[in-house]
A and B are shown apart, each in its own frame.
Chain A
Amino acid sequence: MTALVVIDFDASGIKQPARSAIAAATKLGGEVHGLVIGSGVGAIAEAAAKIPGLSKVLVADAPGYAHELAEPVAALLVALAPGYSHILQAATAAGKNALPRAAALLDVQVISDISGVVDADTFVRPIYAGNALATVKSADAKKVLTVRASSFDPVPAEGGSAAIEAVSVAPVEGKSKYLGSELSKSERPELTAAKIIISGGRGMQNGENFTKLLDPIADKLGAAVGASRAAVDAGFVPNDYQVGQTGKIVAPELYIAVGISGAIQHLAGMKDSKVIVAINKDEDAPIFQVADYGLVGDLFNILPELEKA
């Protein structure tokens, strides 16, 4: 039994969710290999080799693997699949895009966003926006899984010494072509890896208030800034700030919800946070039912006070 974990990375290096996926893979009880897919990814492969828990790092390095297009990535996973009992990746946008495609090509049902490993065939996953936890047992010979990063403590980044091996498979020519990206620039920690998150909702009223009121507090706390769907739809902040069932799933040490009512879909993305603070002027807002500390009042008075404190 050997598991293959696809490593998520970006320009700044290996992403924390990749190390959570490795943590999930180690719970299966077998050997764990990492897979780095991309173009010019030698440094990433070397960093991956240092992750404890990996006994081998495979590197698929070719221009055709740039931009993580689903077609070549899925074809590569299918080519490597005979050597593995489990194929995993964090439930990032890239993982959710490519792994179901690979699973279908292998004629297996993908198991998305697992939050627990019971045994090599049985997994726990949240359904209905996290309002129920399903334990499912797979009858498929091979398991293809995406991993809810916030449910597994990431393995350390350093301390291992895995062997690096180049993959000889040539990328398939797909019918899709990468045209370009528009990435949000931020100096702050990444939302899914941040220890503290401060999120704004519709109550923030506009994007300037995010910059004026939330950013200084985030900087002071070393926190990431998130948002509810209402704030994203209203155009206050870009959509990759969104926390919730359809946005990012986070579980920081501290989550501060400001001007967020607490709809089911938002709670789905943050209710596993260790400590939740709600700041809202409506004392009946559902967010107070999950908040450890609630402060009823006008955020426009409270936030400046918080910044000074």
Chain B
Amino acid sequence: MSEMPNRKPETGAFFPRDRNWHPPAFAPGYKTSVLRSPQRALLSLDGTISEITGPIFGHSVLGELDNDLIHNFAKPGESAIGERIIVHGRVLDERGRPVSGALLEFWQANAGGRYRHKKESYLAPLDPNFGGCGRTITDENGYYAFRTIKPGPYPWPNGVNDWRPAHIHFSVFGHGFAQRLITQMYFEGDPMIWKCPIVNTIPDRQAIEQLVAPLDWANTIPMDARAYRFDIVLRGRRSTLFENRLEGN
């Protein structure tokens, strides 16, 4: 963890979450949510210092290959098998301001839809050169990028014939612990998106579209890797319009 010098401390409380935009806790089409969803109402708490603060991670936590899933688990001179892609974008807050120094962690299945995890028993094989985890930190403009291979869809025991669309899991830290977010990125044009019970826990189609990364032809590298663009929006803070009100207005 490290300090972020030359930055005015952010002390405003966060905008409340729009919990009609997020998926509800209880979404029976996704069967595991039935017993894992609170039934009582959440207790609302307008940001105290315990929520407006949060850990910040310095670049010192990153290894050289942390943002290259094609190579960070591969044997020397080898690489993971599959469609080579770059995933990149910006992390912004709800006010459209870049979130710099944000730690992003991502994980995914390999090109055949197989996760490297002992609880996973799908018959598609592991790729000996693919681990499936990566991380990076946004720059001063909120930009991030990583290289990976496009994950495959995989079947899961929810309905009799349910398949996840190709997806990459994202975990995001902003500057306050109340901004903590885990989500999934999907790929433009994948017909599996609209059949997925997990995607469909999100009630609003526009909200789902926010998770679908378009093919970014302009940033595709010829003879190397195609690019997908995925921007992420974290909660915004109330501005401090009056200097004597540190908690914001």
Verify that A and B bind, or say they do not: no
Residues of B within 8 A of A (CB): none
Residues of A within 8 A of B (CB): none
